[in-house]
Amino acid sequence: MSTREQIIETTSHLLEQQGYYATGLNQIVQESGAPKGSLYYYFPQGKEELTAEAIDRSAREFTRIIETELARYDDPAETIYQFMQGLAEHAQASDCRGGAPIATVALETAGHSERLTAACQAAYGRYQSAFAARFVASGFSEERAAQLATLIVAAIEGGMILSRTQRSAAPLQTIAGDLRDIVSFSYKR
């Protein structure tokens, strides 16, 4: 991995764990093992630029996961259920310490940084488009697909907050069942 990539990956990880304001450039340099000075070489505009890149990276990665995982089952309700159960397992494996790489930065910086708000908006837009495309492929109308995608992205982000706060994957597992039902109910109408 290049130094630039290593810096972005370390930043993504720290943002997920502790958010924007708690993450300092010194910590990023230290934990990434990047040579001092390389950070401003690659990211001359500093922390905001680097954070926007890290959000973009996290968003592309999670979007790929959505696309791959939602292709596993034909039935759209079953595939959402299995996807949510997968998120719950993943959260459990990390002792529910992570799992919402963008949410903290989104909340901290909304209304304070146009650049980061735009990066978070684009990130959530990617997730929503990936879910919506999967539903359209199963025959849902564009409008219904977009509505379901909004609910699912909100439920994931909120479910992660509850799981991290409770240190338990139980909220994500509960939500999995209800999202399956609402997709199934929409599908049959």
CA torsion angle for 109, 113, 119, 123 (degrees, to 10)? 30
Q: How many CA atoms lie within 13 A of 188 on its CB side?
A: 6
CA distance 144 to 139: 10
Q: How far is the CB of 147 from a copy of itself (least distance, A)?
A: 5
Residue 158-177 contact track with a copy of itself, rule CB under 8 A, x = bound: xx-xx-xxxx---x--xx-x
- Position 55 contacts a copy of itself (CB under 8 A): no
- Both tokens of residue 89? 């397992």
Q: How far is the CB of 82 from a copy of itself (least distance, A)?
A: 18
CA distance 183 to 175: 12
Candidate ranges 5-13, 26-34, 68-76, 119-127; the one touching a copy of itself (CB under 8 A): 119-127
- Position 115 contacts a copy of itself (CB under 8 A): no
- Both tokens of residue 76? 């759209």
CA distance 120 to 33: 27
Q: How far is the CB of 140 from a copy of itself (least distance, A)?
A: 13
Q: Please report, as residue ranges, which positions from 120 to 159 form the binding site for a copy of itself (by CB under 8 A).
A: 120-121, 124, 146-148, 150-151, 153-159
Residue 64-103 contact track with a copy of itself, rule CB under 8 A, x = bound: --------------------------------xx--x--x
User: 78 with 180: CB under 8 angstroms?
Assistant: yes
Burial class (CB in 10 A: 0-12, 13-18, 19+), 182: middle
User: Residues in the site for a copy of itself, rule: CB under 8 A?
Assistant: 17-22, 96-97, 100, 103-104, 106-108, 110-112, 117, 120-121, 124, 146-148, 150-151, 153-159, 161-162, 164-167, 171, 174-175, 177-179, 181-182, 185
